[in-house]
Amino acid sequence: MGRNLKITLAYDGSEFHGWQVQPELPTVQGTLADCLKRVTGEDVLPQGSGRTDAGVHALAQVASVRLESPIPERNLVIALNDILPASVRVNSVEVVPDNFHARHSAKAKTYRYRIYRGDICPPCLARYVYRDPYPMDEEALMRASEQVVGKHDFTSFAASDPDRGARIAEAAGEEKDEAPHFGNVTNVRTIHSSLWARTREELIYTVRGDGFLHHMVRNLVGTFLLVGKGSLKIGDVPTILEARNRSAAGPTAAACGLYLVSVEY
Protein backbone atom coordinates (compact mmCIF):
# COMPACT_ATOMS: atom_id res chain seq x y z
CA MET A 1 0.00 0.00 0.00
CA GLY A 2 2.94 2.35 0.50
CA ARG A 3 2.87 5.54 2.56
CA ASN A 4 0.93 8.73 2.19
CA LEU A 5 3.48 11.49 2.72
CA LYS A 6 3.13 15.17 3.55
CA ILE A 7 6.00 17.19 2.09
CA THR A 8 6.53 20.75 3.32
CA LEU A 9 8.74 22.83 1.06
CA ALA A 10 9.90 26.38 0.47
CA TYR A 11 10.81 27.93 -2.85
CA ASP A 12 11.89 31.04 -4.66
CA GLY A 13 9.28 31.32 -7.40
CA SER A 14 11.19 33.85 -9.52
CA GLU A 15 12.35 31.39 -12.17
CA PHE A 16 9.36 29.05 -12.12
CA HIS A 17 6.15 29.25 -14.13
CA GLY A 18 4.15 28.66 -10.97
CA TRP A 19 3.43 25.48 -9.04
CA GLN A 20 1.33 23.51 -11.53
CA VAL A 21 3.14 21.30 -14.01
CA GLN A 22 3.17 22.64 -17.58
CA PRO A 23 4.66 21.08 -20.72
CA GLU A 24 8.15 22.34 -21.54
CA LEU A 25 8.12 24.92 -18.73
CA PRO A 26 9.90 24.83 -15.35
CA THR A 27 7.37 24.50 -12.51
CA VAL A 28 7.76 23.62 -8.85
CA GLN A 29 5.41 20.63 -9.07
CA GLY A 30 7.21 19.28 -12.12
CA THR A 31 10.63 19.79 -10.56
CA LEU A 32 9.61 17.99 -7.36
CA ALA A 33 8.07 15.13 -9.35
CA ASP A 34 11.26 14.72 -11.39
CA CYS A 35 13.40 14.59 -8.27
CA LEU A 36 11.07 12.10 -6.57
CA LYS A 37 11.42 9.84 -9.60
CA ARG A 38 15.21 10.11 -9.51
CA VAL A 39 15.31 9.23 -5.81
CA THR A 40 12.61 6.52 -5.66
CA GLY A 41 12.16 5.38 -9.25
CA GLU A 42 8.42 6.10 -8.95
CA ASP A 43 6.54 8.19 -11.49
CA VAL A 44 4.24 10.24 -9.23
CA LEU A 45 2.76 13.74 -9.27
CA PRO A 46 2.72 15.41 -5.82
CA GLN A 47 -0.46 17.38 -5.15
CA GLY A 48 0.01 20.86 -3.70
CA SER A 49 -2.18 22.75 -1.26
CA GLY A 50 -2.76 25.31 -4.00
CA ARG A 51 -1.32 26.67 -7.21
CA THR A 52 1.02 29.58 -6.67
CA ASP A 53 1.43 31.66 -9.82
CA ALA A 54 4.57 32.39 -11.79
CA GLY A 55 6.94 34.46 -9.68
CA VAL A 56 5.14 33.79 -6.36
CA HIS A 57 7.22 32.39 -3.49
CA ALA A 58 6.44 29.95 -0.68
CA LEU A 59 7.77 29.61 2.84
CA ALA A 60 5.78 26.46 3.62
CA GLN A 61 3.92 25.02 0.66
CA VAL A 62 2.47 21.57 1.38
CA ALA A 63 2.34 18.65 -1.04
CA SER A 64 1.01 15.14 -0.57
CA VAL A 65 2.13 12.04 -2.46
CA ARG A 66 1.87 8.27 -2.07
CA LEU A 67 5.13 6.36 -2.39
CA GLU A 68 6.00 2.67 -2.28
CA SER A 69 9.65 3.38 -1.54
CA PRO A 70 10.84 2.36 1.97
CA ILE A 71 13.29 5.28 2.22
CA PRO A 72 12.89 6.79 5.73
CA GLU A 73 11.33 10.24 5.82
CA ARG A 74 14.46 12.00 7.11
CA ASN A 75 16.60 10.33 4.45
CA LEU A 76 14.10 11.39 1.80
CA VAL A 77 14.50 15.02 2.90
CA ILE A 78 18.28 14.74 2.52
CA ALA A 79 18.14 12.92 -0.81
CA LEU A 80 15.67 15.37 -2.36
CA ASN A 81 17.59 18.44 -1.21
CA ASP A 82 20.77 16.96 -2.69
CA ILE A 83 19.29 17.06 -6.20
CA LEU A 84 16.67 19.81 -6.09
CA PRO A 85 17.77 23.22 -7.38
CA ALA A 86 18.89 25.63 -4.67
CA SER A 87 15.67 27.60 -5.21
CA VAL A 88 13.61 24.72 -3.76
CA ARG A 89 14.11 23.19 -0.32
CA VAL A 90 12.21 20.35 1.30
CA ASN A 91 11.80 21.29 4.96
CA SER A 92 10.15 18.10 6.16
CA VAL A 93 8.55 14.82 5.11
CA GLU A 94 6.10 13.03 7.37
CA VAL A 95 3.72 10.10 7.14
CA VAL A 96 0.04 11.14 7.25
CA PRO A 97 -3.28 9.24 7.24
CA ASP A 98 -4.41 7.77 3.94
CA ASN A 99 -7.25 10.30 3.62
CA PHE A 100 -4.93 13.31 3.90
CA HIS A 101 -4.75 15.45 0.75
CA ALA A 102 -2.67 18.62 0.64
CA ARG A 103 -5.39 20.61 -1.11
CA HIS A 104 -8.66 18.99 -0.04
CA SER A 105 -7.76 18.73 3.65
CA ALA A 106 -6.60 22.33 4.04
CA LYS A 107 -8.63 24.42 6.51
CA ALA A 108 -6.85 27.78 6.27
CA LYS A 109 -3.94 29.51 4.56
CA THR A 110 -1.85 32.57 5.29
CA TYR A 111 -0.29 34.76 2.62
CA ARG A 112 2.10 37.69 2.93
CA TYR A 113 2.80 40.56 0.53
CA ARG A 114 5.89 42.76 0.82
CA ILE A 115 6.16 46.33 -0.51
CA TYR A 116 9.55 48.02 -0.39
CA ARG A 117 9.10 51.71 0.41
CA GLY A 118 12.70 52.91 0.28
CA ASP A 119 14.08 55.00 -2.56
CA ILE A 120 16.63 52.40 -3.65
CA CYS A 121 15.78 48.73 -3.45
CA PRO A 122 18.85 46.55 -2.75
CA PRO A 123 19.52 44.17 -5.67
CA CYS A 124 19.32 41.17 -3.35
CA LEU A 125 15.70 42.07 -2.54
CA ALA A 126 14.49 43.07 -5.99
CA ARG A 127 13.00 39.67 -6.85
CA TYR A 128 11.24 39.32 -3.50
CA VAL A 129 9.43 42.62 -2.98
CA TYR A 130 7.28 45.03 -4.94
CA ARG A 131 8.97 48.45 -4.98
CA ASP A 132 6.72 51.46 -4.42
CA PRO A 133 8.59 54.48 -2.97
CA TYR A 134 5.95 57.01 -3.99
CA PRO A 135 3.68 59.09 -1.70
CA MET A 136 1.03 57.01 0.03
CA ASP A 137 -1.46 57.39 2.86
CA GLU A 138 -0.36 54.29 4.71
CA GLU A 139 -2.96 54.68 7.45
CA ALA A 140 -5.76 54.69 4.88
CA LEU A 141 -4.29 51.60 3.21
CA MET A 142 -4.18 49.81 6.56
CA ARG A 143 -7.76 50.72 7.42
CA ALA A 144 -8.97 49.62 4.00
CA SER A 145 -7.65 46.11 4.60
CA GLU A 146 -9.92 45.76 7.65
CA GLN A 147 -12.98 46.03 5.40
CA VAL A 148 -12.55 42.53 3.96
CA VAL A 149 -12.46 40.63 7.27
CA GLY A 150 -15.39 38.24 7.61
CA LYS A 151 -17.45 36.17 5.21
CA HIS A 152 -17.93 37.81 1.80
CA ASP A 153 -18.42 37.07 -1.87
CA PHE A 154 -14.99 37.92 -3.35
CA THR A 155 -15.98 37.78 -7.03
CA SER A 156 -14.70 41.34 -7.48
CA PHE A 157 -11.23 40.17 -6.43
CA ALA A 158 -11.12 36.94 -8.45
CA ALA A 159 -9.32 36.54 -11.77
CA SER A 160 -10.68 34.26 -14.44
CA ASP A 161 -9.70 30.67 -13.60
CA PRO A 162 -10.00 28.42 -16.68
CA ASP A 163 -9.01 25.27 -14.77
CA ARG A 164 -11.61 25.63 -12.04
CA GLY A 165 -14.23 23.55 -13.82
CA ALA A 166 -11.85 20.61 -14.09
CA ARG A 167 -11.03 20.80 -10.39
CA ILE A 168 -14.71 20.92 -9.49
CA ALA A 169 -15.35 17.81 -11.57
CA GLU A 170 -12.40 16.08 -9.90
CA ALA A 171 -13.69 16.93 -6.44
CA ALA A 172 -17.19 15.65 -7.18
CA GLY A 173 -15.95 12.08 -7.28
CA GLU A 174 -13.74 12.24 -4.20
CA GLU A 175 -14.19 12.10 -0.43
CA LYS A 176 -15.98 14.92 1.34
CA ASP A 177 -13.07 15.85 3.64
CA GLU A 178 -12.17 18.68 1.28
CA ALA A 179 -11.27 22.29 1.82
CA PRO A 180 -14.36 24.34 2.74
CA HIS A 181 -15.05 25.64 -0.77
CA PHE A 182 -13.33 23.18 -3.07
CA GLY A 183 -15.83 21.82 -5.55
CA ASN A 184 -18.26 24.63 -4.75
CA VAL A 185 -18.83 27.26 -7.41
CA THR A 186 -19.44 29.98 -4.85
CA ASN A 187 -16.87 32.75 -4.52
CA VAL A 188 -17.72 33.23 -0.85
CA ARG A 189 -14.71 33.03 1.44
CA THR A 190 -14.05 33.88 5.07
CA ILE A 191 -11.08 36.11 5.88
CA HIS A 192 -10.00 35.64 9.49
CA SER A 193 -7.44 38.45 9.57
CA SER A 194 -6.26 41.13 7.15
CA LEU A 195 -3.65 43.60 8.31
CA TRP A 196 -0.61 45.65 7.35
CA ALA A 197 2.54 46.15 9.37
CA ARG A 198 5.25 48.78 8.87
CA THR A 199 8.95 48.04 9.20
CA ARG A 200 11.76 50.47 8.57
CA GLU A 201 11.74 49.96 4.79
CA GLU A 202 8.68 47.84 4.05
CA LEU A 203 4.90 47.65 4.23
CA ILE A 204 3.92 44.03 4.83
CA TYR A 205 0.40 42.70 4.31
CA THR A 206 -0.63 39.44 5.99
CA VAL A 207 -3.97 37.78 5.29
CA ARG A 208 -5.36 34.54 6.71
CA GLY A 209 -8.50 32.90 5.40
CA ASP A 210 -10.27 29.60 4.79
CA GLY A 211 -9.57 29.80 1.08
CA PHE A 212 -8.49 32.15 -1.69
CA LEU A 213 -9.61 32.62 -5.28
CA HIS A 214 -7.32 32.93 -8.29
CA HIS A 215 -5.18 36.11 -7.89
CA MET A 216 -7.36 37.13 -4.93
CA VAL A 217 -4.56 38.29 -2.62
CA ARG A 218 -2.79 40.23 -5.36
CA ASN A 219 -6.08 41.87 -6.38
CA LEU A 220 -6.77 42.85 -2.78
CA VAL A 221 -3.32 44.41 -2.51
CA GLY A 222 -3.79 46.27 -5.79
CA THR A 223 -7.06 47.71 -4.50
CA PHE A 224 -5.63 48.71 -1.12
CA LEU A 225 -2.82 50.50 -2.93
CA LEU A 226 -5.41 52.58 -4.81
CA VAL A 227 -6.83 53.61 -1.45
CA GLY A 228 -3.36 54.54 -0.27
CA LYS A 229 -2.84 56.62 -3.40
CA GLY A 230 -6.19 58.40 -3.02
CA SER A 231 -7.83 56.95 -6.14
CA LEU A 232 -10.28 55.06 -3.92
CA LYS A 233 -11.66 55.73 -0.44
CA ILE A 234 -11.77 53.33 2.49
CA GLY A 235 -15.55 53.18 2.20
CA ASP A 236 -15.30 52.07 -1.42
CA VAL A 237 -14.03 48.61 -0.43
CA PRO A 238 -17.41 47.30 0.81
CA THR A 239 -19.01 48.71 -2.33
CA ILE A 240 -16.47 46.85 -4.47
CA LEU A 241 -17.29 43.62 -2.62
CA GLU A 242 -21.00 44.15 -3.20
CA ALA A 243 -20.46 44.80 -6.92
CA ARG A 244 -19.27 41.20 -7.54
CA ASN A 245 -17.50 42.48 -10.62
CA ARG A 246 -13.75 42.21 -11.22
CA SER A 247 -13.67 45.57 -13.03
CA ALA A 248 -14.79 47.32 -9.84
CA ALA A 249 -11.57 46.46 -7.98
CA GLY A 250 -7.99 47.58 -8.46
CA PRO A 251 -5.23 46.07 -10.61
CA THR A 252 -3.41 42.85 -9.84
CA ALA A 253 -0.29 43.53 -7.77
CA ALA A 254 3.01 42.12 -9.02
CA ALA A 255 3.69 38.46 -8.24
CA CYS A 256 7.20 39.04 -6.85
CA GLY A 257 5.96 40.42 -3.52
CA LEU A 258 3.67 37.50 -2.66
CA TYR A 259 4.47 34.54 -0.39
CA LEU A 260 2.47 31.52 0.72
CA VAL A 261 3.39 31.53 4.42
CA SER A 262 1.56 28.52 5.87
CA VAL A 263 -1.24 26.01 5.39
CA GLU A 264 -3.37 24.76 8.28
CA TYR A 265 -5.06 21.36 8.55
In this structure, the number of other CB atoms found within 10 A of the CB of residue 171 comes to 17
Question: Can you tell me the distance from the alpha carbon of 248 to that of 245, in angstroms, rounded to the nearest whole number?
Answer: 6
What stretches of the chain show up as alpha helix (H) in DSSP? 28-40, 73-83, 138-145, 164-172, 216-229, 236-243
Q: Are 61 and 10 in contact (CB under 8 A)?
A: yes
Catalytic (active-site) positions:
53
Q: Are 253 and 216 in contact (CB under 8 A)?
A: no
Query: What DSSP designation does 50 have?
Result: S
Q: Are 21 and 40 in contact (CB under 8 A)?
A: no
How far is CA 261 from its chain centroid? 8
Q: Are 113 and 202 in contact (CB under 8 A)?
A: no
Question: Can you tell me the distance from the alpha carbon of 8 to that of 31, in angstroms, rounded to the nearest whole number?
Answer: 15
Closest CA to 211 of 107, 125, 140: 107
Q: What is the dihedral of CA 33, 39, 42, 47, to 10 degrees?
A: -30
